[in-house]
């Protein structure tokens, strides 16, 4: 049995335990009405593009990703911009987009020994009627079933994932 010598000792142990819980990112929302839950697959509405695409939720990805083809960098008024097309079998025509580059992301892939640099754009999306400006790295995902991958940059907005939904 552990004996605690002083109240200060107990308080120190409690603070260390609480700091460990907070730093581990453990959040419990049992019965909380503020909890928002995503299923493994979610429709995402890109408000600026008037476009709905299916997205796969990936808790291992830091940044969300959008399927893009014909990615072309250019300069506009001294800033980096990107021009690309969104192509998906569910779309009758490709959607052409021009957007400022928010940053470049170094993406680690299992099939490449070196990280791949991708342009990242910030787009306004709605997920379950909640609007966010999220960053999306651009890459050709046409060989994959879902044109959008939702990463932790969305989940950190207070979302839980329930893959059974």
> In the prediction, which pLDDT does 102 show?
97
**pTM of the complete model:** 0.76
Helix (H) or strand (E) holding 8: helix 7-23
In contact, 148 and 140? CB cutoff 8 Å: no
**Helix or strand or coil: residue 107?**
strand
Spatial separation of the C-alpha atoms in residues 70 and 88, rounded to whole Å: 13
5: left (phi over 0), alpha (psi -120 to 50) or beta: alpha
- The whole-number pLDDT of residue 80 equals 97
Helix %, strand %, coil % of the chain (to 5): 15, 45, 40
Question: Which residues in the chain show pLDDT less than 50?
Answer: 1-5, 7-33
C-alpha closest to that of 147 among 156, 159, 139, 157 = 139
pLDDT given at position 136? 97
């Amino acid at each position: 049995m552990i004996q605690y010598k002083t109240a200060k000792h107990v308080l120190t142990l409690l603070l260390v335990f609480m700091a460990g819980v907070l730093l581990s990112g453990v959040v419990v929302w049992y019965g909380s009405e503020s909890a928002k839950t995503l299923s493994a697959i979610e429709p995402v509405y890109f408000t600026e593009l008037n476009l709905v695409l299916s997205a796969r939720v990936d808790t291992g990805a830091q940044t969300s990703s959008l399927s893009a083809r014909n990615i072309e960098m250019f300069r506009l008024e001294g800033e980096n911009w990107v021009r690309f097309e969104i192509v998906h079998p569910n779309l009758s025509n490709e959607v052409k987009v021009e957007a400022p580059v928010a940053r470049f992301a170094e993406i680690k892939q299992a099939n490449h020994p070196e990280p791949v640099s991708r342009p990242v754009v910030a787009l306004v999306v709605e997920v379950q009627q909640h609007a966010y400006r999220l960053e999306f790295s651009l890459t050709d995902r046409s060989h994959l079933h879902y044109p959008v991958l939702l990463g932790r940059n969305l989940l950190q907005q207070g979302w839980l994932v329930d893959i059974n939904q």
